[in-house]
Structure 1
Amino acid sequence: MEEEIYMKQPDGFLVKGKEDYVCRLRKSLYGLKQAPRQWYKKFESIMCEQGYKKATSDQCVFVKKFADDDFIIML
């Protein structure tokens, strides 16, 4: 995540004597505004590691060329 995000302690996880403490998130969670962006960044890095290239016309299209054909993945 690019920004530090804090949340209150979840129910059932309260630490005695530290009820007013908060938790710092280390990973993006579903439901946060940053979650889709973080998911896409991870997906993009994996696709590039596997030899896929992003299409210039659409950032959600990945193409990989093989000897006899192309393979296209669209999100």
Structure 2
Amino acid sequence: HGHLHELYMEVPEGVQEKPGIVCKLRKSPNGLKQAPRCWNERFNSALLKLGFRRPYRDYCLCVSTRKGDEVYLV
């Protein structure tokens, strides 16, 4: 799941006690239009923290060099 900037939804029937109540989502649910982008941003951030880098113009490849060995993630 990725993190959302700000998204609200109505509370499902049978769950809400008062009409007009909404929920602020903290994570992107599956099937949401923004879900793939949120997941990709979080995944890329994790790879950068692990020391991977992206070669110029190639967004499908991540490279990390450790102790003289190169690790490629496609």
Q: TM-score, normalization: structure 1?
A: 0.76
| Paired residue type of 1:21 | I
Percent of aligned pairs with the same amino acid? 38
Stretch of structure 1 that moved more, 60-69 or 33-42: 60-69
Shift of 1:23: 1.6
More relative contact order in 1 or in 2 (CA 8 Å, sep 6+)?
A: 2
- 1:20-75: CA deviations, max 9, x gaps? 3222222222111111111111111111111100121321211001234211111x
**Runs of 4+ deviating beyond 3 Å:** none
Structure 2 gap ranges (5+)? none
Q: TM-score, normalization: structure 2?
A: 0.76
> How has the CA–CA distance of structure 1 residues 11 and 58 changed in structure 2, closer, same or farther, with 3 Å as cutoff?
farther
Q: State how many pairs are aligned.
A: 71
